[in-house]
Structures are given as structure tokens and as C-alpha cells.
């Protein structure tokens, strides 16, 4: 029997504003899409609406850039206030590159361009969106909210788009998760040929985030995607297990 | 209206052997799964069966390791013949790490563990599988074969599992492609708020490879996944556009 998965980008989520209850927004989207949520589903939600709902928005006018931020911004024709926010959001700078690109390691251990600070797609031109303070906690809150309001507790993945070394283009990865084993550990299991599998630990939460992006898209902006038919394994560990331990990292 | 994608891992592909016609194998799988192929579909095919069909298999007994390979293998308890193959498949060594891990940059520009040399899941314990010589050409051949044999020319993505810096676990990425714009360039298009999108070039072929892995899986080994409902854009450029130009690369 063939295995079938469905990716359904929900309609009718609408604009999300600071203080909004995301579980209600998801409920709206499910209703508009004629769908009922089940415990077996996965919901992939973009970081953007989570950050908005949690009011992780900063008016650039309120930011006073350091001299270092001003110098870098001047050198590359960037907005010094945005550079300042990127520096503040970085626990560590991994690279500063041509074009003014800053790759930061956030306090969560996420390595990404601009340390997740995003000025596009936020209402008004002068507002920056920061990553959630604790994306795993955000995912757990949404899961609890859905359980309470809709009576179903699907797996939750919070996605954001990251660049990668050596490869062009961005892909969506998981910055937060709840309910699901984000890192599926198949070591020790037999493969189809009956041999024990080696080194097979799959970042399924990242793959779910990437899959959802195909349905949700960048232009259409459907920020919530329902994944149906994927047999996820339960775990309380969240997406933080996807962050590589520094001592294992060959690319500091 | 909600957007729906389907990921269908084909049943009935069976074992693939050197010299096999993959278009026939795919036809078998579609028949067993009760599906008819269309030009609008995407087929994601694992590197493993492409390499097998193209006889990119090397008996380890035929490999005579260099002193360098022997030293490294001795130091980390590895098979020197396998290390030798990894070195031969590498245009350049990117890192040699604890545990004997070798990260190689292949002639295609792919940066991955063991330069794509894989000894698991290949019939017999002493056979290594190498990456296809030209994965984009492999994808084009499969597409041509499907057009000829089944009368449909879907987009083709050839996938393989790669590790990543800073993140635990492997994900599937695209090492070859045919028909599809692997790198979807949305720069200059307006976003949902009507602003011009910046820096939005999406590695959709990588996202398709990751999505397919959720349906095909590692244990079940369904090596061909049909993606239905994804509005891909046509291109003849293949997946080689996903390989970052060395001068843009901040992580040499």
C-alpha cells in the first residue's frame, strides 16, 4: 500500500496582531478550509505570525545604534538601527560578509542571517520582527490552546527560512516544536535489507517545515499548513534538540 | 481556497539492479499504486536507486587504499578501502573530524559526509555506492524515459540525505533535477503586503526532497515519491544551481 501525506495550507487565517490568540486564528483557518483538527495531525506555523502574536515587534525609531552598528551600516548601505537589532539578537557573530550580511548565533543556538531579525512583511516599513523568546514554549502554548479550544492536540512545528553554507537559496527549518520527536532516531533499527542502520538520525521537524513551505508559499502567505498522514512520534523535547552541541560542531 | 499538496510514496518499485531502466521501475510503482503520471507532477527519486541503476557500485575488495587512507582508517577504526573511496570521490576535503568523519566536496560541488560514498543498504556488505556521475543528466534521462514510456514528463528531483553545520540530524536535499526551477527566484515580486520581496530565493528542489522523505521514509524504503499539486516552474538548469559559487561562500 502506498503511503500518502497531505499538505493543506489553511485559508482564512487573516492578519495576526500582537496579543492575538493563535489557537483561535488556527480555528478560524480550519473552519474556512472546512477541516477538523485531529491529534494525529501536524500543524506547521510560520515564525512570523508567532512573533507578531507575541509582540516581538520593535519600531526602528526606538533603536539607538552603537558606533559599531553605524560603521557597519555605513560601509554597506544598511539601516544602522536594523544592524543594531541584529547585534542585540546575536549571542555571537558567526560571520560578517560582503553586502553587509551578518550571520548570528542567537541565544537559542540558531545560526541564521540577521539573527532572525526581519523587516519584510511586517505592517508598516519601520518595524522589525524578532524571533520568539522561546519558540518551543510558543509551540507548547499553541498546542495547549488548541487542545483547550478545539479539543485536539496535534504536533506543532514553528518554521522559519534559513540560508545554508554551500547551497544557494533558503529553506524552511523548525525553530520550535511541541509534541513531536523533532529528531527521529532510527539508529539500531534494521533497514529494509535487515542490516542495522548507522548514523540515521533524521531531522523530521526540519523536513516538515520545508514540506509546509511548498504549500504555504512566500507570495500567498498562508502561514499555517496542516500535514495529514505523517506518523510522527511523540516527544516533549521540542526543536532545541536540532541545535548541534558546540563540541560536535566542525564549523564554528 | 486552501492549497493542497499530496505526497505519495509509490509501492511496488522493487529492487533496482545495475542496468535497470528507472522509467520502467517508476511505471511499475505507479501501476502498483493505481496512479497515472501527469506533466504537472513531481517525482522525487532517491540517489540510491539512481546509483544502482547506473552501476555506481564498487566492490570494496577491488579498492587498494593509499597510506593516507590506511592511517586515517587505523586511527578511527574505519575500513581503509571505504576511506580511500571517499578520498577519490572528493575534489576537496572540507573537514576531517572526530570519529573519522570526512566531509568532502565532490566534483559536483556537493559538500557532504563521506563525499556521498555509502555502504549501507547496498546488496551484500562489501559494496559501496557512489553518487551518480552527473545527477542532473540522470534526472533528464529519467524524464525523457518517462515521456517515452508513459507519455508524461513530470519534474524530476534526485534526493540524497545530507548533514548540516550547526544542526543535528540529516535532511534530504536535491542533488539532481530536470524540468523544474530548482531555485525559485521571487526577488522583485510583491509580497502579500504589496512590498517588493528582498532576498527571497527559495531552494524548492531541496524542500521537495525533504518533503518526499517524510513519505518515503528510511525504514520502509519507498524510493520514489510522487508530489501532486505543487505548481512548479519549468527550467532546464537542473539542481546544479543549488551549489553555491565558491566566491559567495562564507564557510570554505
Residue-wise DSSP of B100-144: G-EEEEETT--EEEGGG-B-TTSSSTTEEE---S-HHHHHHHHHH
A179 in a structural domain: yes
Is B1 inside any structural domain? no
Backbone phi and psi for residue B233, each to the nearest 5 degrees, phi listed first: -100, 140
Give domain status of residue B249, yes or no.
no
Is residue B251 included in any domain, yes or no? no
* Inter-chain CB proximity B203 and A169 less than 8 Å: yes
Shortest Cα distance from A113 to chain B (angstroms)? Answer: 11
CB B89 within 8 A of CB B108: no
Among the three residues A108, A128, A148, which one is the final residue of a domain in this structure?
Answer: A128
Question: What integer pLDDT is reported at residue A1 of this predicted model?
Answer: 55
- Best mutation target among A48, A161, A188, A210 (most B Cβ atoms within 10 Å) is A210
Residue of B nearest to A191 (CA): B219
Asked if A169 and A228 sit in the same domain, the reply is: yes
Same domain, A180 and A231: yes
Q: CB-based contacts of A24: which residues, under 8 Å, 6+ apart?
A: A145, A149
Whether residue B221 is contained in a domain is answered as yes
Q: Domain end: B69, B97, B128, which one?
A: B128
How far is residue B174's CA from residue A210's CA, in Å, rounded to a whole number? 13
Do A153 and A118 belong together in one domain? no
**A103 contacts B170? CB cut-off 8 A:** no
Any idea what the Cα angle at residue A226 is, between residues A212 and B166, rounded to 5°?
40
Residues of A in contact with B211 (CB under 8 A): 7, 207, 210-211, 214
Q: Write down the pLDDT at residue A64.
A: 96
CATH no. for residue A207? 3.30.1330.100
Cβ-Cβ contacts under 8 Å, B228 against chain A = none
Q: What is the dihedral of CA B131, B137, B138, B143, to 10 degrees?
A: 160
Compute the nearest-CA separation of A80 from chain B (Å). Answer: 18
- Count of other CB atoms within 10 angstroms of residue B181: 18
Give chain B positions within 8 Å (CB) of A219: 186, 189, 191-192, 197
Would the pLDDT of B191 be above 90? no
Specify the pairing of strand B102-106 against strand B201-202.
unpaired
What is the full per-residue pLDDT of chain A (252 aa) written as tens digits?
Answer: 568 999 999 999 988 999 999 999 999 999 999 999 999 999 999 999 999 999 999 999 899 999 999 999 999 999 999 999 999 999 999 999 888 999 999 999 999 999 999 886 455 558 999 999 999 999 999 999 999 999 999 999 999 999 999 999 999 999 999 999 999 998 877 665 565 565 589 999 999 999 999 999 866 679 999 999 999 999 999 999 999 998 888 887
B221 with A191: Cβ contact below 8 A: yes
Q: How does pLDDT run across B55-99, given as a tens digit for each residue?
A: 999 999 899 999 999 999 999 999 999 999 999 999 999 999 888
Residue B53 domain flag: no
Q: Is the predicted pLDDT of residue B171 greater than 70, yes or no?
A: yes
ipTM of the predicted structure?
Answer: 0.95
Average pLDDT over residues B152-158: 98
Residues B150 and B234 both lie in one domain: yes
Q: Do both B175 and B193 map to the same domain?
A: yes
Locate the DSSP E strands across chain B: 3-9, 42-46, 57-59, 90-96, 102-106, 111-113, 127-129, 155-164, 167-178, 184-185, 201-202, 224-228
Q: Within this chain, do residues B79 and B185 fall inside the same structural domain, yes or no?
A: no
Sheet order of strands, A90-96 included: A90-96, A102-106, A111-113
Query: Which residue of chain A has the CA closest to B123?
Result: A193
- Give how many domains chain A has, as a whole number: 2
- Give the pLDDT of residue B210: 98
CATH number, domain of B102, equals: 3.90.1660.10
Final residue in a domain of this structure, among A76, A93, A128: A128
Shared-domain flag, residues A87 and A122 = yes
Which DSSP symbol is given to A197?
Answer: P
Are B147 and B178 contained in the same domain?
A: yes
B202 with B90, same domain? Answer: no
Domain span at A158: 6-56+134-244
What is the reported pLDDT for A247?
85
Question: Is the domain of A33 the same as that of A62?
Answer: no
The verdict on A231 and A140 lying in the same domain is yes
Amino acid at each position: 500500500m502506498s503511503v500518502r501525506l497531505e499538505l493543506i495550507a489553511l485559508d482564512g487565517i487573516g492578519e495576526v496582531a500582537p496579543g492575538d490568540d493563535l489557537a483561535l486564528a488556527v480555528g478560524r483557518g480550519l473552519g474556512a478550509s472546512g477541516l477538523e483538527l485531529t491529534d494525529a495531525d501536524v500543524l506547521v506555523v510560520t515564525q512570523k505570525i508567532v512573533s507578531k502574536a507575541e509582540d516581538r515587534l520593535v519600531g526602528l525609531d526606538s533603536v539607538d545604534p552603537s558606533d559599531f552598528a553605524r560603521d557597519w551600516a555605513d560601509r554597506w548601505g544598511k539601516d544602522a538601527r536594523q544592524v543594531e537589532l541584529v547585534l542585540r539578537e546575536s549571542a555571537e557573530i558567526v560571520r560578517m560578509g560582503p553586502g553587509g550580511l551578518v550571520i548570528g548565533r542567537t541565544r537559542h543556538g540558531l545560526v541564521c542571517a540577521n539573527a532572525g531579525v526581519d523587516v519584510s512583511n511586517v505592517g508598516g516599513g519601520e518595524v522589525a520582527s524578532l524571533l520568539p523568546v522561546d519558540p518551543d514554549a510558543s509551540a507548547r502554548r499553541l498546542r495547549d490552546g488548541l487542545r483547550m479550544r478545539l479539543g485536539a492536540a496535534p504536533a506543532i512545528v514553528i518554521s522559519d527560512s534559513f540560508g545554508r553554507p554551500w547551497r544557494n537559496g533558503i529553506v524552511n527549518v523548525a525553530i520550535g516544536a511541541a509534541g513531536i520527536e523533532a529528531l527521529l532516531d532510527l539508529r539500531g533499527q534494521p533497514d529494509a535489507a535487515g542490516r542495522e542502520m548507522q548514523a540515521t538520525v533524521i531531522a523530521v521537524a526540519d523536513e516538515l517545515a520545508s514540506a509546509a513551505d511548498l504549500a504555504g508559499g512566500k507570495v500567498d502567505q498562508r502561514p499555517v499548513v496542516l500535514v495529514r498522514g505523517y506518523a510522527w512520534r511523540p516527544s516533549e523535547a521540542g526543536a532545541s534538540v536540532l541545535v548541534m552541541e558546540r563540541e560536535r560542531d566542525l564549523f564554528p
